[in-house]
Amino acid sequence: MTPPRRRQGDQPGPRKGGKGSRPGQGPRGQGQRGEGPRGQGGGPKGARGQGGPKGGPRGPKGAPRRGRQPDRGTSGRSRGGQPDLAPPEPWLPQRDVHDPDGVRLQKLLAGAGVGSRRACEQLIADGRVEVDGQVVTELGVRVDPLRQTVHVDGERVQLDDSRVYLAFNKPTGVVTTMSDELGRPSVGDYVHSRPERLFHVGRLDADTEGLLLLTNDGELAHRLQHPAYEVLKTYVAEVPGPLPKDLGKRLREGIELDDGPVAVDSFRVIDSRPGKAIVEVVLHEGRKHIVRRMLETSGHPVISLVRTQIGNIRLGDTRTGRWRALTRDEIGGLYKQVGL
């Protein structure tokens, strides 16, 4: 008996003893999932486009698929024509900082007070030492202490033994000069026994006492006084009281003087008693008599004034008329503040 012919569109029934096929799906790789586009009733719910294998026909090779995640190492947000990854940094060749006629680096560091020679060798091996901006890890490197610069952990180490850095507590009545033609007491009178040719960094008027830096390092002195580096200076002043509550706010916002406005970086009241008060003023301005003029304009003329700090250097317990040598860390801190 001849089996009846199937009409077009009929689907074969399940094989005897085999797995049944779902409606609208033929054998893998041969049948089609529906024949009409979605929404036109040409196939069961979920049919895609014009049919074909599950997922539809693939587009051109390399075309992005819907919902595709960005490749690793990319942001997924690059515009057309722009690279997905940032260009690598240009390779810089190693510069030879070795000076055959120089001194071994670890010896210079030890002599500058960085640590024992063995500790300095370890600093070099760990890559924590730079010579002229170049990291040095070899122990045999020699450098010229007068020509080359050395940094340890980002702070400059002064290797030139001829450089001098002093913190001087200037008394009242002493003029800020190294010698005075009128015969008045001067700063130079207190360091005349030293063989170096020293000069003062900035100045204090005769009626002001406190911290004054003395050195023979011209480059550092110039930068410490330059307004571009905004090195902070701290003063303690005694003024008549009582003080208004908004005095600090007014000084921080700025006071107009004859030569232009001035604003403090910080202001606080240290002590207040009947008839007088002690205040701390921090600012980076360096104009003449700036603290006295500012407080007088605000209605509180200065009775006495002491400078207690410049940058990271504190006056501490240095007695009036005495000086002390700065430590290696203090010198390195000054260099760091002015970008040396």
Cα distance between residue 130 and residue 123, in whole Å: 10
What Rg, from alpha-carbon coordinates, does the chain have?
40
pLDDT band, very low/low/confident/very high, at 81 (cuts 50, 70, 90): low
Q: Is the pLDDT of residue 239 over 90?
A: yes
Domains and CATH numbers, the chain: 103-157 (3.10.290.10), 165-227+314-337 (3.30.70.580), 232-310 (3.30.70.1560)
Contact 184, 171 (CB under 8 A): no
Under 8 Å CB-to-CB from 59, ≥6 apart: which residues? 65
Lowest mean pLDDT among 127-131, 185-189, 211-215, 336-340: 336-340
Res. 235: pLDDT tops 80: yes
Question: If you average pLDDT over every residue of the chain, what do you get?
Answer: 79
HEC-encoded secondary structure of 249-317: HHHHHCEEECCEEECCCEEEEEEEECCEEEEEEEECCCCCCHHHHHHHHCCCCCCEEEEEEECCEECCC
The pTM assigned to this predicted structure is: 0.66
User: Mean pLDDT across the stretch 69-82?
Assistant: 50
Report the pLDDT value the prediction gives residue 58, as an integer from 0 to 100: 53
C-alpha to C-alpha distance for 39 and 186, rounded to whole angstroms: 100
| Residue 331 phi, psi (nearest 5) | -65, -45
Cβ neighbours of 318 (radius 10 Å): 16
Q: Taking 90 as the threshold, does the pLDDT of residue 295 lie above it?
A: yes
Of 188, 183, 92, whose CA–CA distance to 134 is shortest?
A: 92
- Mean pLDDT lowest among 16-30, 81-95, 192-206, 325-339: 16-30
Rounded CA-CA distance 297/250 in Å is: 11
CA–CA distances in Å: residue 130 to residues 2, 137, 140, 257: 97, 9, 14, 46
Please tell me the predicted confidence (pLDDT) of residue 288.
87
pLDDT tops 80 at residue 135:
yes
**Lowest mean per-residue pLDDT among 64-73, 219-228, 296-305, 318-327:** 64-73
Cβ-contact 204, 182 below 8 angstroms:
no
- Is there a contact between 255 and 261 (Cβ–Cβ < 8 Å)? yes
Catalytic option among 126, 153, 205, 329? 205
The string of pLDDT tens digits covering residues 145-202 is: 888 889 999 888 888 888 999 999 999 999 999 988 898 999 999 999 898 899 999 8
Close Cβ partners of 171 (under 8 Å, ≥ 6 residues apart) = 209, 320, 321
Catalytic, 205? Answer yes
Does 94 have pLDDT greater than 70?
no
pLDDT in tens, 277-294: 999 999 998 888 999 999
- Give the phi and the psi of residue 293 in degrees, each rounded to 5: -65, -40
Question: From residue 177, how far is each of 101, 134, 186, 205 by CA, in Å?
Answer: 40, 40, 6, 10
pLDDT recorded at residue 151: 92
